[in-house]
Structure formats: C-alpha cells, structure tokens
Amino acid sequence: MKQWLADVWEGFWTVLVGMRITWRHLFVKKATLHYPEERWVLPPKSRMRLFMKYEDCIGCGQCARACPVQCIYIKSEKRAPAAPPIFAANGQPIKLDVHVFDIDMSLCCYCNLCTYPCPTDCIYMTPEFEFATTDLTQHLYHFAKQGATFITEDPKKKTAAAAPSATPPPAPPATPAGA
Ligand code: SF4
Ligand code: SF4
C-alpha cells in the first residue's frame, strides 16, 4: 500500500513538473499567433516575393548582373529603328524589346541586391510571403508580357509642360517720381 501511494504521488508530481512551463504561460502575454487567422505585422523593409513591372523595364540587365545566384533570366533585342518611342514611368527611353524576364524564386536568396541598380525602380520586393508550394516549377515567374501597353509620350516633357514657370513674372514698370 505504501509503495502504491508513493507511485501515485510520483506520477502526480511528474505531471505537475511537466506542466510547469504550461502553467507559467497561462499567466503571461501569449507568444504565438493563430496563423493564418492572425498575422504578425512585418517590418517595413521585409524581403519577400519579388515583382517586376514589365512596362517600366528598359532591359538593361543590371538586376541580373547584380544577382549573386543568377536567378534572373533576361532576353532582349534592340527595338526596330522605325518603332515608335516608348518610355518607362520615370522617363527613361526603352530601346530594347524584352522578350523574356524570368525570376526563379526557388533559387532566390532574398538579398534584394537586384533592386538597387534598377534605373527605373521597376523591380522590387513585395510584402507577399505566402507562396509556398511543393512544385518548384511554380516558383519560376514570367514577367514578360505580350501586348503590354507602354507610355508613348515622354513623361519628363509632360511634367515640364505642366509645371508652373520658374521665371518670376515681369515687374510692373516703375512709377516715375512725382507722378
Ligand atoms: S533578391 Fe538577390 S538572389 Fe533574389 S533575385 Fe534579387 S539579387 Fe537575385
Ligand atoms: S535593372 Fe530594372 S530596368 Fe534593368 S533589366 Fe532589371 S528590371 Fe529591367
């Protein structure tokens, strides 16, 4: 009987010890979230899925050259001399036709180095991080578009025309003394 009571007590004590951390966390602020119903607010410069705005890409390839794992694939060719001029949103003329612009996010190490040299800021990290998949081919993103609509008027000229003249209006003629 004495041994039986000792065993029962030991079992009870073991559960108490095992539940010590659980008990402690009943009375402190919770450290977990009910994902996906709840989400952490991510820091503003979080590095997530890349995006490239095709209509602003001039095909310079600087992003691909900056990529340490070479997961950006670009194929472009010179636009025909007779082709109408097109521009990126910041006024950079687009002189190349970009036929292929692929990013393999399964290789990307999220270093963000590709975004810094882009002269038109058209490649950037988005806040999107929920794109897990069991099929790696789904991480190969194709950004080149057939039939994309480009800006055909130089945005810099447009802005200059719309801006008020920096030259002050001519001063009224001086009133002659004694008039
Ligand atoms: S974030 Fe880094 S690894 Fe990913 S595509 Fe850009 S340069 Fe390459
Ligand atoms: S750096 Fe920017 S403009 Fe140049 S190819 Fe890459 S995405 Fe296009």
- All structural domains of the chain with their residue ranges: 49-150
Q: What does the chain come to in residues? A: 179
Cα 94 to ligand 1 centre (Å): 23
The protein residue whose alpha carbon is closest to atom 2 in ligand 2 is 118
Chain Cα centroid distance, residue 113: 12
Residue type at 49 in one-letter notation? R
Looking at all shown ligands, the one closest to residue 116's CA atom is 2
Looking at all shown ligands, the one closest to residue 68's CA atom is 1
Cα 124 to ligand 1 centre (Å): 10
pLDDT at 133 over 60: yes
Cα 114 to ligand 1 centre (Å): 5
169 versus 118: the higher-pLDDT residue is: 118
pLDDT tens readout for residues 20-64:
888 888 888 888 899 999 988 888 889 999 999 999 999 999 999
Q: What pLDDT, on the 0 to 100 scale, is given for residue 176?
A: 46
The protein residue whose alpha carbon is closest to atom 8 in ligand 2 is 57
Ligand 2 neighbour 122 (Cβ under 6 A): yes
Q: What pLDDT, on the 0 to 100 scale, is given for residue 177?
A: 43
Residue 114 has, within 13 A of its CA and on its CB side, a CA count of 29
CA pair distance 91, 3, nearest whole angstrom: 88
In terms of Cα–Cα distance, which of 51, 63, 118 is closest to 88?
118
Going by their DSSP bridges, the two strands 96-104 and 50-52 should be labelled as unpaired
Ligand 2 neighbour 60 (Cβ under 6 A): yes
Q: Across all residues in the chain, what is the average pLDDT?
A: 89
pLDDT tens readout for residues 139-159:
999 999 999 999 999 888 877
Cα 54 to ligand 2 centre (Å): 9
pLDDT tens readout for residues 47-106:
999 999 999 999 999 999 999 999 999 999 999 999 999 999 999 999 999 999 999 999
Q: What residue has token string 């002659």?
A: 176
* Ligand 1 pocket at CB < 6 A: 50, 66-69, 71-72, 103, 108-114
Closest atom of ligand 2 relative to the 64 alpha carbon? 6
Q: CATH topology for 49-150?
A: Alpha-Beta Plaits (3.30.70)
Six-digit token string for 28: 């402190």
Cα 35 to ligand 2 centre (Å): 35
Predicted TM-score of the model (pTM): 0.76
Give 70: exposed, middle or buried? Use CB within 10 Å, 0-12, 13-18, 19+: exposed
Q: What pLDDT, on the 0 to 100 scale, is given for residue 114?
A: 98
